[in-house]
Every structure is written in C-alpha cells, then in structure tokens.
A and B are shown apart, each in its own frame.
Chain A
C-alpha cells in the first residue's frame, strides 16, 4: 500500500508569512489527493482536493500543488494567522474507497 510522508516536525512561522507543508507518496500516483485540517481533540475536517491533471488549486488563502513526477503535493497558507495553527493531513484514495492518511504536520503560527 501507499506510504505517505509528511514532515513530522512541527512548523513554526510568524503571523503574516506563508506556510508551506509537504506531502510525499511512494507508489503509484493517485487520481487525486486531499488535504485536511485537524484541531486538538477533534476529527479532521476536509479542506481541499486536487486531481492528478490539475497542477494547482486555490481556495481563499489556501493553495495546493500536485506534482506527479516528483510524487509530491505542497500545501500553502498565505498571510497566515494564529487561527491557522493546527495539524494538517494529506490523504489519498487507494483502490476503490480506502483513504490513507499521512501522519500530519503540526503548524504553529506565532503572533
């Protein structure tokens, strides 16, 4: 099955800067890749999805890129705010319905 790697170290950035999180996978390229946000003690919440034929997807201050050659997705939060502090998970679908997650990267936005 797929192995999904996210930087396990926490990412600390200053408020107003752009946060960039990385997601790498090891096997075949999925048809699409998803990003979720998780706050402490809560279930993950879906943020964005990007398809293999899309290079980039935007939603408000969020931007996701998908490079099937590098087997990598980048997740950007521009003009970051303390309220963006959370753990961000990437996920992809294997087979028909099985969704596999990375371990997540904890983002801390410092005022």
Chain B
C-alpha cells in the first residue's frame, strides 16, 4: 500500500517562526499536494507539484512556499508563521493523471498551532 508520511503529528510554534512541514511518499508518485483543512472551509489546496523542482500555486498560496528537490519529498514552508495559519495540514500524492485518474493518497496530517 502507498504510504504518505508527514513528519509531525502535532506541532506548536510561535508567531514569526519559520516552520517546515515535511512529507515523504514511497510509491514513486509524480504529483504531490499540500492542503490545509479548517472547520467549515473543508480542504483547500495550498500548492502542488507535478515533478521534481516544479510547483504550482493552489487556491491559497499566500504566506507559504514549497520545495521539491527529490521526487519522494515535498516540503511546505511557512516563512513567518502567523496565528491564522493554525490549521490541520494534509499532504497527498498521486500518480500522473490517466494512471489512476488522480486518486489521492493522504498522510495522517499535521495539526499546527501558532501561538
């Protein structure tokens, strides 16, 4: 089975800190995604990547950046954490569309609290 591993289950940071969220997948998937999930707002796409060193903005990229230096690893960076970035962050991966029709495999999530 595909495994998508997020480095931390819970994280508490201070306002203004630089925060790194790491995600690793083991199925050689081309596509990787970062979502945040908030009550009443559902899953919102922050960034996605369809190849190494490639990235595309999602619906809410402001305040975030990403890095994909290796195929299996996709990092989300909060340059200067703010309280409104307190959320559940979910990483996902998929193979190229057409192979599995975009079926996403998710990690267990990182609950980030910014104080």
Contact = CB atoms under 8 A, between A and B. Distances in A.
B106 A44 contact: yes
A97 B104 contact: no
A100 B45 contact: yes
Contacts of B31: 97
The bracket for how many chain B residues form the interface is 20 to 34
B40 A97 contact: no
Interface string B89-111: 01010101100011111111100
Given A89-B43, A103-B42, A97 B105 contact: no
A44 B94 CA distance: 13
Contacts of A51: 101
A97 B100 CA distance: 12
Nearest to B104: A99
A46 B103 contact: yes
A103 B35 CA distance: 13
B92 A89 contact: no
Nearest to A43: B106
A71 B106 CA distance: 27
B108 to A, nearest CB: 6
A76 B108 CA distance: 26
